[in-house]
Chains A and B, each alone.
Chain A
Amino acid sequence: MQRRHFFAGAATAVAAASVNRAALAALPEPVSQASADTAAPLAPPNGRPYRPVITLNGWTLPWRMHNGVKEFHLVAEPVVREVAPGFFVNMWGYNGQSPGPTIEVVHGDRVRLFVTNRLPEHTTVHWHGQRLPNGMDGVGGLTQPHIAPGKTFVYEFEARRPGTFMYHPHADEMVQMAMGMMGLWITHPRGAHPLIAEVQRDYALLLAAYDVEPGSKTPRVAEMTDFNIWTFNSRVFPAISPLVARQNDRVRIRVGNLTMTNHPIHLHGHEFEVTGTDGGPTPRAARWPEVTTDVAVGQMRQVEFIADEPGDWAFHCHKSHHTMGAMGHDLPTLIGVDHRGLVEKIQQIVPDYMRMGERGMADMGGMEMPLPDNTFPMMTGAGPFGPLEMGGMFTTLKVRRDLGANDHRDPGWYRHPAGTVAREWTGAPLDAQAPRQTAPGTAPGAAQVHKPGHAGHAAPGAPSPGAHDGH
């Protein structure tokens, strides 16, 4: 697995912006990002100070100050996103990546956003969750004309409340969001806020799902339910950066959902509280501890906790298929099916045929089988103890005692103190006489049930219904 490399500082990614030589009256030169690695947080070079967020496998869009107005330039364009090493997907995004760059502003900032459309069709940008003039809301046809291909529009408003927001198209949005057009918007509080805690680590991510036919490169935009690529910021495990925290850091994770289903986001080893939504900070009386929070479609949740337990803790969507890579969803279950004598026969007509699934699908995690081109395996990822058998909305929270305050690099696998890892029982063995189910599909001692009128009408070659002899 290719390791993510953090940039030493913001300079690499924002170089083009910081040396912007264009006349101030002209459009801000757009900045583009070529890498899907997690960029280092962008410390604000001007304007009001704030503690920047870390966008997992993403970056923050640099700005310029123009007469006291923060000017950003978003370019909507086709991009190729490296969803996992070697797995590239044709998407539509902003400024070289999908999701687009995170826009970070401070409560009260006046913001001017130039949006250039380099897509083949018109678009708009909707600033999800913002208080703004109706004409800046970005719903094509309703509040504004669409941005035709090649045109640049300007949105300008004040960031009137702090919180976690997103931006996405509101023109042909079914297609444009299925193609990956989305981005995070973070409005930081101006100074201390009674409901917003100071945190040492502030992570942000968007949930997105794609349907990429194995062997192809472009998502099927017409799909509504049968997605096979489940992503944090359009990346899949093990290509998603870990969330890294120094022990006892206060950690905030901001999650927005732009898929077509809800995602119960689950953190191991800690309890967290939902401290905010896209509606704003949660009143303290409304917070309760949880280990899983459901992020419904079109919602954002920001959770906070003290990372006081060292280790590599799983952080994932709890819908188990959402932690799987691409797979067929129309497969019969092969568990417990005796393949003896058949594999050789099938190999006569399909020489490369291998038996799979007889014992479950865990074999897949350890197998390196050739797959169609540009296809992400169903189960992948290896940990220090073996295959992780994951490949989607899954990553880790890595809590370490000795870590620099601004160190976001992957510290590697956790070194467990002696005696703290589950181990094989080496005492007395299991009593061999213990009852256990021997015949799959037939509980021992279960009453034999016959459907009325069905006696002797079994399909040819099929076992008679209710047969409970062990096959």
Chain B
Amino acid sequence: MDLGTFLQFLAAGLTVGSTYGLAALGFTIIFNTTGIINFAQGEFVMLGGLLAVVFMHWLAPGLPAAVVLAVLATTLVGLVMERLTIRPVQHTSVINLIIVTIGVSITIRGLMMLLWGKDTYVLPAFSGTTPIPLLGATIAPQSLWILGITLLVLAAMRYFFSRTIFGRAMLACSFEPKAARLMGISVERMVMASFMLSAFVGAVGGVILTPLTMTSYDVGVLLGLKGFAACILGGLGNPFGAAAGGLLLGVLEAFGAGLISSAYKDAIAFVVILAILLWRPSGLFGAPDTERV
């Protein structure tokens, strides 16, 4: 395999992996404050892309404004979801809450189907589609946007969780909600913030991916699944491990499709995940001694 082909596979893997990573990041943010696996995470990704299409069509505000509006609207959906479906039943068991999120995901998907139809839609690329040659490989400008924005979001999250009071308060809620409450932290507010944050991250993933891969009301199912796999691969409690898991999953898929057989692309990725989990049950970047739910 020559360098150009290698780079081509790597670029393809990192591009797709970025969105798996952003979905995975969303999973961990909510998991860390509540212990819930939010199965509506893929729907946040879908909403980001599809709402940008909707805004472009209805309001015609131009691409940048549509993208910002879509991300804000999805963040709002995260807030509404927490207020209407999670908070009223917050004292029930975690498994019940997880089932609630499955219900929310089906509802969001159904509503978007009714409101906007079942077609596939696409957004214009952020900065043209002329491919950029690089050492024998070619890279779409949108891939650079995807990689760049993903890294930016990751860096911002890292700063938020380790350096800001608010972020550290959210982490505190995940470790010991009772103690956090005694310290004067409003656990309810942290849970709400975590839903908004994960909707935000998912929506960012959706809008940057749509110009390259298109969107429709049901793309969230697969992205949610891949994001969840990335989470498990990287370690469920670790946001950055999850994002790295997403990149790794994307790269595995690309090389699997390119080198072995595209028919077994998904299978190859999942076999590797299983193997890694047998070897390291807490995921690649998870602390081995943490209690797992």
A and B bind = no
